[in-house]
Amino acid sequence: MEIRKNGGATYAPGRSAPNSGFMVSLNGSERTFPLAEFGNAELANYMREYAYRIESDPRLFYGAWIDDGTVYLDVSMNVADRFEALLMGEFESQKAIYDVATGDVISL
């Protein structure tokens, strides 16, 4: 599973993961799982729950990362402009956004 191997992933069926811009999680789409209890079934259920959103908007991706023994899943939007991403992050009640190009987490 790429999430365990790489510590995270960005994915949408039929699309390449973005290589620039900023990822902003959409409020309410977040799910967490203890790493020891996370597997293919949990991932498949999450993806099924949000498939309609990912398929309907080409800016949306499934996001996943591991931090301190917890797997985080979300639906994230790729936003090209940093200022717009910062505003959207605040609007979506996020603690941070992710800079795709540099790999930096930007705290809000």
Residue type, 4: R
What is residue 23's predicted lDDT score, i.e. its pLDDT? 96
What is residue 64's predicted lDDT score, i.e. its pLDDT? 93
Q: Which residues contact 21 (CB under 8 A, 6 or more apart)?
A: 78, 79, 80, 85, 100, 101
What is residue 10's predicted lDDT score, i.e. its pLDDT? 92
- Domain encompassing residue 34: 2-107
pLDDT tier for residue 1 given thresholds of 50, 70 and 90: low
Taking the C-alpha atoms of residue 108 and residue 106, their distance in angstroms, rounded to an integer, is 6
pLDDT tens digits for 49-107? Answer: 999 999 999 999 999 989 899 999 999 999 999 999 999 999 999 989 999 999 999 99
Q: Is the pLDDT of residue 3 over 90?
A: no
Task: Give how many domains the chain has, as a whole number.
Answer: 1
Tokens of 102: 């540099």
Taking the C-alpha atoms of residue 96 and residue 68, their distance in angstroms, rounded to an integer, is 16
